[in-house]
């Protein structure tokens, strides 16, 4: 028995054996959609994934990966890696950050908590700075939450407010930044009408300014720090609307990569550097792309870049972003408490875990996806002697449409080696191509990305074959299967020049789950009695494949075992 009487011991599965190595492969951004020319998975040669599909309905099926099935506020919310990998790893559906912030704003509880009371101390003499992603994408942040917070804070005494925007173009259409800035400018002007000194103070594109992740490139965070905190940037404008319009007029401009800018007054002085006595709130609810800025804002000892000036501020996150690091220490809304994840259970039942991830370039990568997110937004190992996290460094300084193969084959080779080594019971992999290249909106490159992801799956499945193991192949949400914005009846939408409107974002599509391998008990097949399963049903399934029953409060397993 562990703390509060919790037993980590999982019951044995009545029919399935232990000891078969299991490969869990997550294709990032790989949904199921109608076959047409904007479905890059359909256009690409993907013989391996196609052959898995032939196993339907017993060994291949679809599950939901968006909306309420993964704890998002509504079924209009597309899936994303955080909620997708959370559900895959935790086996239960937790109300996610987006929903928790909605609830806290709607009930007003956000203004009663310690976090708000802490920043409020600065309202009398200081400025309230709000930093975050400006869009209604709902993956990292939402415009309507920012609008409510602006209203709520000003009604509760904030007299001087500065917003530091990050333009999106990744969860929403490229070019939509202009509209979002217009909306925000209107709101701020209304606040000014009520006597609040409220303005946008700085900005930049999310992938070039601030929102790096997994410590891939600290320069991204530094560019943001310089603009937001120091008030220094290569571009200076009188208004954010002028900034975004002018920067977008440059050749190859893209909302995701707009350069940093600051807004200056008539005398050329930045209107909103962060100063001693100010309050700062990072308004994103999603963790991964805020952790680095949170460290820069919070840590006294910090050597990732020269902060030049470290103002004495009251800093709160919209949420706490890392439960293990307790970062930030002060926050407005409590994060979902994702406990007792499948990884922790399996480690405590003697399963060794090998999570192979690729760290990406200019931004991301998904190193934390099958580790941090999988483990319930918890960094670090549960038990280092039983787990090994291998990072394959990504290309850096490029967008992935120029190198759409990324490191998929290297990831697959490392996974293969892990399987062949015999050291691991579970080899867990994220193949990022469909997602990372899909986000560039480059259809041709995304087709190449899907083809190579399929080749990577083959390498892993061949190794599973060699070791007599089991595989479970799935995805965290859709992306590459639909690259065009559509109307309600599914017809591609055109822009004013008659071109198609490229969809860079994730989708609402379901994702496949496929099982197989020589180690799979011959009687195992997908149940037909669960009507609308989602990603959260995968964890119990994987536990079964390891020979365990899942905890009783986990979403039910997808499989049953026929006697034969
Ligand atoms: O890049 C990201 O941050 C998101 C999209 O905003 O993608 P994913 O959820 O796949 O990580
Ligand atoms: Mn993803
Ligand atoms: Mn993505």
pTM of the model: 0.94
Q: Is the CB of 27 under 6 A from ligand 1?
A: no
Q: Reply yes or no on whether the pLDDT at 501 is more than 80.
A: yes
Cis omega (within 30 of 0) for bond into 328 = yes
Residue nearest to atom 3 of ligand 1 (CA): 289
CA distance linking residue 284 with residue 296, whole number of Å: 16
pLDDT band at 563 (very low <50, low <70, confident <90, very high): confident
Token representation of residue 308: 């030049």
State the span(s) of the chain assigned CATH 3.40.720.10: 19-95+338-561
In this prediction, residue 517 carries a pLDDT of 98
Which of the listed residues 83, 139, 167 should we mutate to test ligand 1's pocket, taking the one with most ligand atoms within 8 A of CB? 139
Which of the listed residues 88, 132, 170, 365 should we mutate to test ligand 1's pocket, taking the one with most ligand atoms within 8 A of CB? 170
CATH superfamily name and code, 19-95+338-561:
Alkaline Phosphatase, subunit A (3.40.720.10)
SS3 of 15, please? coil
pLDDT band at 495 (very low <50, low <70, confident <90, very high): confident
Per-residue pLDDT tens over the stretch 130-172? 999 999 999 999 999 999 999 999 999 999 999 999 999 999 9
CA distance linking residue 268 with residue 19, whole number of Å: 68
Evaluate whether 327 touches 288 at the Cβ level (below 8 Å): no
Evaluate whether 288 touches 214 at the Cβ level (below 8 Å): yes
- In 168-287, the DSSP E strands lie at 197-205, 235-237, 261-263, 279-282
Could you say which of 7, 74, 81, 552 is catalytic?
81
Per-residue pLDDT tens over the stretch 185-227? 999 999 999 999 999 999 999 999 999 998 889 999 999 999 9
Q: For ligand 1, what atom is nearest to the CA of residue 140?
A: 6
In this prediction, residue 361 carries a pLDDT of 21
Q: Is the CB of 433 under 6 A from ligand 1?
A: no
Which of the listed residues 72, 211, 439, 480 should we mutate to test ligand 1's pocket, taking the one with most ligand atoms within 8 A of CB? 439
Per-residue pLDDT tens over the stretch 369-388? 988 999 999 888 888 888 88
Q: For ligand 1, what atom is nearest to the CA of residue 213?
A: 3
Per-residue pLDDT tens over the stretch 333-346? 999 999 999 999 99
CA distance linking residue 227 with residue 305, whole number of Å: 14
Q: Reply yes or no on whether the pLDDT at 354 is more than 70.
A: no
Is 546 within any annotated ligand binding site? no
Per-residue pLDDT tens over the stretch 419-451? 999 989 999 999 999 999 999 999 999 999 999
As beta bridge partners, residue 369 has none
Which tops the pLDDT comparison, 116 or 350? 116
Is 286 within any annotated ligand binding site? yes
State the span(s) of the chain assigned CATH 3.40.1450.10: 98-333
In this prediction, residue 564 carries a pLDDT of 65
Is 322 within any annotated ligand binding site? no
In this prediction, residue 5 carries a pLDDT of 65
Q: Reply yes or no on whether the pLDDT at 364 is more than 60.
A: no
Is 66 within any annotated ligand binding site? no
Per-residue pLDDT tens over the stretch 277-295? 999 999 999 999 999 999 9
Q: What is the DSSP string of 308-352?
A: S-----EEEEEE-SBTTTTBSSSEEEPPP---S-HHHHHHHTT--
CA distance linking residue 72 with residue 79, whole number of Å: 8
The dihedral sign for the CA sequence 341, 343, 345, 348: negative
390: nearest Cα among 420, 413, 363 = 413
The listed CATH number (1.50.10.10, 3.40.50.2300, 3.40.1450.10, 3.90.1150.10) that belongs to domain 98-333: 3.40.1450.10
In this prediction, residue 210 carries a pLDDT of 98
Q: For ligand 1, what atom is nearest to the CA of residue 84?
A: 9
Q: Reply yes or no on whether the pLDDT at 17 is more than 60.
A: yes
What is the chain's mean pLDDT, rounded? Answer: 94
Q: Is the CB of 154 under 6 A from ligand 1?
A: no
Q: What is the mean pLDDT of residues 64-84?
A: 97
CA distance linking residue 489 with residue 479, whole number of Å: 19
* φ, ψ for residue 161, nearest 5 deg: -125, 135
In this prediction, residue 219 carries a pLDDT of 96
Is 563 within any annotated ligand binding site? no
Which of the listed residues 81, 137, 171 should we mutate to test ligand 1's pocket, taking the one with most ligand atoms within 8 A of CB? 81
pLDDT band at 479 (very low <50, low <70, confident <90, very high): very high
In this prediction, residue 1 carries a pLDDT of 43
Q: Is the CB of 435 under 6 A from ligand 1?
A: yes
CA distance linking residue 214 with residue 220, whole number of Å: 12
pLDDT band at 352 (very low <50, low <70, confident <90, very high): low
The number of the ligand nearest the C-alpha atom of 212 reads 1
Residue nearest to atom 1 of ligand 1 (CA): 364
In this prediction, residue 365 carries a pLDDT of 55
Is 170 within any annotated ligand binding site? yes
Q: Give this complex's ipTM.
A: 0.99
In the reported structure, the alpha carbon of residue 81 is separated from the centroid of ligand 1 by a whole-number distance in angstroms of: 6
Q: Is the CB of 81 under 6 A from ligand 1?
A: yes
Q: pLDDT over 90 for what percent of the chain?
A: 87
Q: What is the mean pLDDT of residues 464-477?
A: 98
CB-based burial, 276-305: b 16+ in 10 Å, e otherwise: eebbbbbbbbbbbbbbbbbbbbbeeeeeee
Residue nearest to atom 11 of ligand 1 (CA): 81
Q: Reply yes or no on whether the pLDDT at 3 is more than 70.
A: no
Q: Is 81 annotated as catalytic?
A: yes
Q: Is the CB of 171 under 6 A from ligand 1?
A: yes
CA 417 to each of CA 41, 368, 393, 412, 464: distance values in angstroms, whole numbers, following the listed order: 27, 21, 17, 9, 11
Q: Is the CB of 139 under 6 A from ligand 1?
A: yes
Lowest mean pLDDT among 327-331, 363-367, 450-454: 363-367
In the reported structure, the alpha carbon of residue 529 is separated from the centroid of ligand 2 by a whole-number distance in angstroms of: 28
Q: Reply yes or no on whether the pLDDT at 357 is more than 50.
A: no
In this prediction, residue 535 carries a pLDDT of 98
In the reported structure, the alpha carbon of residue 292 is separated from the centroid of ligand 1 by a whole-number distance in angstroms of: 16
Q: pLDDT over 70 for what percent of the chain?
A: 96
Residue nearest to atom 10 of ligand 1 (CA): 81
Q: Reply yes or no on whether the pLDDT at 355 is more than 70.
A: no
């Amino acid at each position: 028995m562990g703390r509060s009487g919790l037993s980590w011991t999982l019951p044995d599965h009545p029919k399935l054996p232990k000891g078969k190595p299991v490969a869990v492969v997550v294709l990032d951004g790989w949904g199921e959609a109608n076959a047409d020319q904007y479905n890059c998975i359909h256009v690409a040669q993907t013989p391996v994934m196609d052959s898995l599909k032939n196993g339907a309905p017993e060994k291949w099926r679809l599950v939901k990966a968006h909306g309420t099935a993964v704890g998002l506020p509504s079924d209009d919310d597309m899936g994303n890696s955080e909620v997708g990998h959370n559900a895959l790893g935790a086996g239960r559906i937790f109300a996610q950050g987006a929903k928790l912030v909605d609830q806290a704003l709607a009930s007003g509880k956000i203004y009663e908590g310690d976090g708000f009371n802490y920043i409020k101390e600065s309202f009398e003499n200081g400025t309230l700075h709000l930093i975050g992603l400006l869009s209604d994408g709902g993956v990292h942040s939402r415009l309507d939450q920012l609008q409510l917070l602006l209203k709520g804070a000003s009604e509760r005494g904030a007299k001087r407010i500065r917003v530091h925007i990050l333009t999106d173009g990744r969860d929403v259409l490229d070019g939509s930044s202009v509209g979002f800035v217009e909306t925000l400018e209107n709101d701020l002007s209304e606040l000014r009408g009520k006597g609040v000194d409220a303005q946008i103070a700085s900005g930049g594109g999310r992938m070039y300014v601030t929102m790096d992740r997994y410590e891939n490139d600290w320069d991204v965070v530094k560019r943001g720090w310089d603009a937001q905190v120091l008030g220094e940037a290569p571009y200076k404008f009188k208004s954010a609307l002028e900034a975004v319009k002018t920067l977008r007029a440059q050749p190859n401009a893209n909302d995701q990569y707009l350069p940093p800018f600051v807004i200056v007054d008539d005398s050329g002085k930045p209107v909103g550097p962060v100063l001693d006595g100010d309050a700062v709130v990072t308004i994103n609810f999603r963790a991964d792309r805020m952790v680095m800025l949170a460290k820069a804002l919070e840590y006294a000892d910090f050597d990732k870049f020269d902060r030049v000036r470290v103002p004495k501020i009251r800093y709160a996150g919209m949420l706490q972003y890392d439960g293990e690091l307790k970062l930030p220490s002060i926050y407005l809304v409590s994060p979902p408490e994702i406990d007792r994840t499948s990884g922790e259970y399996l480690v405590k039942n003697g399963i060794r875990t090998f999570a192979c991830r690729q760290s990406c370039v200019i931004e991301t990568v998904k190193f934390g996806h099958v580790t941090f997110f999988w483990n319930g937004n918890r960094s670090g190992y549960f038990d280092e002697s039983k787990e090994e996290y291998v990072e394959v460094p990504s290309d850096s300084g490029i967008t992935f449409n120029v190198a759409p193969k990324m490191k998929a084959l290297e990831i697959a080779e490392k996974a293969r080696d892990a399987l062949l080594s015999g050291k691991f019971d579970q080899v867990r992999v994220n193949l990022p191509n469909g997602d990372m290249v899909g986000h560039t909106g480059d259809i041709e490159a995304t087709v190449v990305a899907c083809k190579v992801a399929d080749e990577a799956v083959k390498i892993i499945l061949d190794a599973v074959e060699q070791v007599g193991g089991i595989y479970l192949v799935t995805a965290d949400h859709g992306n590459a299967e639909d690259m065009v914005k559509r109307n309600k009846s599914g017809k591609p939408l055109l822009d004013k020049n008659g071109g198609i409107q490229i969809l860079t974002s994730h989708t609402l599509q379901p994702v496949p789950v496929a099982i197989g391998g020589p180690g799979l008990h011959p009687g195992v097949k997908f149940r037909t009695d669960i009507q609308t399963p989602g990603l959260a049903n995968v964890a119990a399934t994987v536990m079964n494949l390891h020979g365990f029953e899942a905890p009783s409060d986990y979403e039910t397993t997808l499989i049953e075992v026929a006697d034969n």
